[in-house]
A and B are shown apart, each in its own frame.
Chain A
Amino acid sequence: MTTAQTECRTSLFDTHVEAGAKMVPFSGWMMPVSYDGIKEEHIAVRTHAGIFDTSHMGEIEVEGPGSLAYLQRLVTNDVSKIDIGGAQYSCLLNEEAGVIDDLFVYRLANDRYLIITNAGNHEVDLEQFGRHAPDFDVYVRDASSGYAMLAVQGPHARQIVRDQLHIELPPRMGVLAQQVGRKPALVCGTGYTGEDGVELLVDPEIAPAIWMELVDAGVVPCGLGARDTLRLEVCFHLHGNDLSTDIDPISAGLGWACKEATGFIGCDKVAVLRANGTDEKLAPFVIEGPGIPRQGNPVMIGDEVVGEVSSGTFSPSLDSGIGMAYVRSDLAEPGTEVEIDVRGKRRPARVSSKPLYPKEK
């Protein structure tokens, strides 16, 4: 494997390879795309519990008396609403309201926050965080090398983690400092699958042992392939597909995570877009019949191109092609009938409401 030389490896690399995972380069890292098959892994997360290595994601620590004011300026959501031990989804925008990244902000203590970044954007995020740090009384640090990240997701995930690791778990959207493997760890009640579960931020050295312990307890090892099908069924955005610096958060349906009153970078642009509306909106859709949409496929009505697929895949839960597309705003209403041009073949599709896979109960 010549590519492996240039890609970073997580502390679980050997664990993945020894287990026979298919490894692929992803955002500068060698990551498992699947173990036994994307469909099986997907179903395991929907019905039982699966574990993902998400150590490629980045961490930035923000500390100091100016933390709140600094984060209010940098990210779009209202950081003052996060209680100690709480978490919040947010966007990092440029001055033009383009989405540099989407992030999770955890409040660890009064003036202490941890930000989780996407692997492919971590460097540009750091640049943006660093550029504005001198204007505030804060200490900002790249903490990525200090953490391995394991996402344990599924209806039985919390119970298994609690029983196996003998730790207390935070509520959904919370974060709790705990001891795991005799090392300090953060347990987060968050995820990217639409299922209940936790994300564990642990010392990279002990990550393989934790992984094996949970797998031995019946948690199914999963790769990035299933992570993508799971997140798309519940319409979570993927930066690089559904978000980019060419896309604003209002078009992306992330207006709920933007609080212009906080004065974040790009807030004036966002206010105008919110007031005037956008030309395009991100709409989830389901293909009716055969065909699997892929990123870049044109969305058609008659002979007119009315949009473009930003994410598309086969949904194991719905047994059909699904996706999200940027379409003309008047066509983003659920029920709208369109066609997706999948490699020259017109596939009838219907715009749907979020999420595409509704959790039962």
Chain B
Amino acid sequence: MILSEPNYPENLRYHPEHDWARIEGGEATLGITWYAQDSLGEVVFYDGPEVGAEITKDQPYAEVESVKAVSDVIAPVSGEVIAVNETLADAPEAINADSYETGWLVKVRLTDPSEADQLMDAAAYTASLE
């Protein structure tokens, strides 16, 4: 694993189910946090939605599996999937290597941009882990 130490970038918003969202205008990139990938261990399988799918805040939209466990990925915001990280099908370990950059999961067009206000900033999320 490349990011071997806890890392929670300031420019992201966080959901209590250990997901992050990078909000850019009416769009957002989504993924799982360092804590989530560390708890899972080596990710060996990723099963996500297709472009065009609708995802709903607080509902599962993808599955990440490690050798020992399977975990639902919970949507931090609602939206329509406009891009998916195609590289994860063959290289799901990117989620461990860098869950914020190469290990992003999907990009969505936000249904309700105000939902982002309910998410935590990095300080609040980090505090929630203690």
**In whole angstroms, what is the CA distance A228 to B89 when docked?**
25
B67 to chain A, nearest CB (A): 4
Given A290-B47, A343-B63, decide whether A33 and B68 contact each other with a Cβ distance below 8 A: yes
Contact between chains at B70 and A314 (CB < 8 Å) = no
CB contacts (< 8 Å) of A228 on chain B: these are 68
Q: Does A352 contact B (CB under 8 A)?
A: no
Q: Does A316 contact B (CB under 8 A)?
A: yes
Contact between chains at A291 and B67 (CB < 8 Å) = no
**In whole angstroms, what is the CA distance A37 to B45 when docked?**
15
Contact between chains at B47 and A39 (CB < 8 Å) = no
CB contacts (< 8 Å) of A290 on chain B: these are 45, 47, 89
Which residues of A, 205-231, contact B by the 8 Å Cβ criterion?
Answer: 225, 228-229
Task: Please indicate which of the listed interface residues B41, B44, B45, B47 has the most CB atoms of chain A within 10 Å of its own CB.
Answer: B44
Contact between chains at B68 and A292 (CB < 8 Å) = no
**In whole angstroms, what is the CA distance A55 to B67 when docked?**
24
Contact between chains at A38 and B63 (CB < 8 Å) = no
**In whole angstroms, what is the CA distance A316 to B63 when docked?**
19
A34 to chain B, nearest CB (A): 6
Contact between chains at A314 and B65 (CB < 8 Å) = yes
Which one, B1, B41, B44, contacts A292 given CB within 8 A? B44
Contact between chains at A225 and B67 (CB < 8 Å) = yes
CB contacts (< 8 Å) of B70 on chain A: these are 292, 294, 343
- The 0/1 profile, CB within 8 Å of A marked 1, for residues 39-60 of chain B is 0011011010000000000000
Q: Does A94 contact B (CB under 8 A)?
A: no
Given A33-B68, A294-B70, decide whether A314 and B45 contact each other with a Cβ distance below 8 A: yes
Contact between chains at B45 and A38 (CB < 8 Å) = no
CB contacts (< 8 Å) of A39 on chain B: these are 42, 44, 67
- The 0/1 profile, CB within 8 Å of B marked 1, for residues 290-332 of chain A is 1110100000000000000000011010000100000000000
CB contacts (< 8 Å) of A291 on chain B: these are 45, 47
Chain A, Cβ-Cβ closest to B69: A294
Which residues of A, 323-356, contact B by the 8 Å Cβ criterion?
Answer: 343, 345
CB contacts (< 8 Å) of B1 on chain A: these are 37
**In whole angstroms, what is the CA distance A76 to B41 when docked?**
39
**In whole angstroms, what is the CA distance A292 to B44 when docked?**
9
Contact between chains at B63 and A37 (CB < 8 Å) = no
**In whole angstroms, what is the CA distance A345 to B45 when docked?**
14
**In whole angstroms, what is the CA distance A73 to B67 when docked?**
40
Which residues of B, 86-115, contact A by the 8 Å Cβ criterion?
Answer: 89
Contact between chains at B68 and A38 (CB < 8 Å) = yes
Task: Please indicate which of the listed interface residues B1, B65, B70 has the most CB atoms of chain A within 10 Å of its own CB.
Answer: B65
Which one, B41, B47, B65, B89, contacts A38 given CB within 8 A? B41
Contact between chains at B47 and A314 (CB < 8 Å) = no
Chain B, Cβ-Cβ closest to A24: B68
Chain A, Cβ-Cβ closest to B63: A343
Task: Please indicate which of the listed interface residues B66, B67, B68 has the most CB atoms of chain A within 10 Å of its own CB.
Answer: B67
B3 to chain A, nearest CB (A): 14
Contact between chains at B42 and A37 (CB < 8 Å) = yes
**In whole angstroms, what is the CA distance A228 to B42 when docked?**
15
A-B contact pairs, 17 of them (CB 8 A): A22-B41, A37-B42, A38-B42, A39-B42, A39-B67, A225-B67, A225-B68, A228-B68, A290-B47, A290-B89, A291-B45, A294-B70, A314-B45, A314-B66, A314-B67, A343-B63, A345-B47
Known pairs A37-B1, A290-B89, A345-B47. 20 more at Cβ < 8 A? A22-B41, A33-B68, A34-B41, A34-B68, A38-B41, A38-B42, A38-B66, A38-B68, A39-B42, A39-B44, A225-B41, A225-B67, A229-B67, A290-B47, A291-B45, A294-B70, A314-B45, A321-B45, A343-B63, A343-B70
Listed from nearest, the 5 A-B pairs whose CB atoms lie closest are A38-B67, A314-B44, A314-B67, A37-B42, A292-B65
B→A interface (CB under 8 Å): 1, 41-42, 44-45, 47, 63, 65-68, 70, 89
